[in-house]
């Protein structure tokens, strides 16, 4: 089985990719698995740049292929000075935990939303370093949802905003739809999985 390192400490992200890549005979390892401790200064100007910073920070620790990702969030009708952008978890210099994120973003919806909701867009950046140390990047966005001021009772650790995000087509929380509903909504990250598989030798 092939192995790759995921340059993240978010266990939920690791598990999402681990399950999907296992089908392609690829094992996803965490920083913890390899006893790697890094402190990345995510000062890039885009999600792609931050994803590259993450994978490059791991190069000296392993010869395995490395993947990393970052994201940015934009909220419709919210003033520029409080747009999260690349700093989704960091507010006024503080890194928010899952519960604090839910509280903070629901307060934004209450203040700036229309009829209790705000349309949003995620922009993702993904970076990969292969076994030959060549770098590849991939980017995509999701804008088929909005955030609401009332949170779901289901909270997935590592993905707190899924508890206040609903799909436009069925008005259901991200955390409350099953695999069949995801398929009907054409919600998956198969293009990202294909990108990884195609670049892992």
Residues 6+ apart with CB under 8 A from 94: none
How many CB atoms are located within 10 Å of the residue 182 CB?
13
SS3 193: helix
Residue pair 122/141 in contact by the 8 Å Cβ criterion: yes
SS3 72: strand
Nearest-Å Rg of the Cα atoms of the chain is: 17
Burial 17-50 (b: 16+ CB within 10 A, else e): bbebbeeeebebbbbeeeebeeebeeebebbbbb
Task: For residue range 101-125, list pLDDT tens digits in order.
Answer: 999 999 999 999 999 999 999 999 9
Greater confidence, 12 or 81?
A: 81
Question: Is the alpha carbon torsion for 192, 70, 125, 2 positive or negative?
Answer: negative
Q: What is the pLDDT of residue 190?
A: 85
Q: Taking all residues of the chain, what is their mean pLDDT, rounded to a whole number?
A: 93
Which DSSP symbol is given to 86?
A: T
Task: For residue range 132-180, list pLDDT tens digits in order.
Answer: 999 999 999 999 999 999 999 998 888 999 999 999 999 999 999 887 8
- pLDDT category, 38, cuts 50, 70, 90? confident
Q: What is the pLDDT of residue 138?
A: 97
171: left (phi over 0), alpha (psi -120 to 50) or beta: left
Calpha distance 107→131 (Å, rounded) = 45
Which member of 33, 70, 103, 198 is catalytic?
A: 70
For residue 71, indicate whether it is catalytic.
no
* DSSP string over 145-172: EEEESS--S---TT-GGGGSEEETTT--
With 0-12 CB in 10 A as exposed, 13-18 as middle and 19+ as buried, what is 113?
Answer: buried
């Amino acid at each position: 089985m092939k192995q790759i390192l995921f340059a993240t400490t978010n266990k939920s992200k690791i598990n999402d990719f681990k399950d999907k890549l296992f089908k392609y005979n690829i094992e996803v390892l965490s920083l913890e698995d390899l006893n790697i401790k890094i402190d990345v200064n995510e000062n890039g100007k885009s999600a792609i740049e931050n994803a590259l910073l993450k994978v490059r920070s791991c190069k000296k620790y392993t010869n395995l292929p490395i993947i990393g990702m970052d994201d940015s969030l934009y909220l419709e009708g919210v003033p520029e000075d409080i747009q999260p952008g690349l700093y989704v978890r960091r507010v006024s210099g503080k890194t928010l935990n899952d519960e604090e994120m839910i509280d903070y973003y629901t307060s934004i919806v209450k203040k700036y939303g229309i009829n209790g909701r705000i349309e949003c867009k995620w922009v993702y950046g993904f970076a990969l370093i292969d076994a030959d140390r060549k770098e590849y990047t991939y980017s995509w966005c999701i804008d088929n949802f909005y955030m609401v001021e009332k949170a779901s009772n289901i909270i997935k650790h590592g993905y707190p905003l899924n508890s206040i995000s609903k799909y436009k087509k069925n008005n259901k929380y991200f955390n409350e739809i099953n695999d069949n509903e995801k398929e009907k909504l054409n919600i998956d990250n198969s293009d990202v999985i294909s990108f990884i598989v195609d670049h892992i030798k």
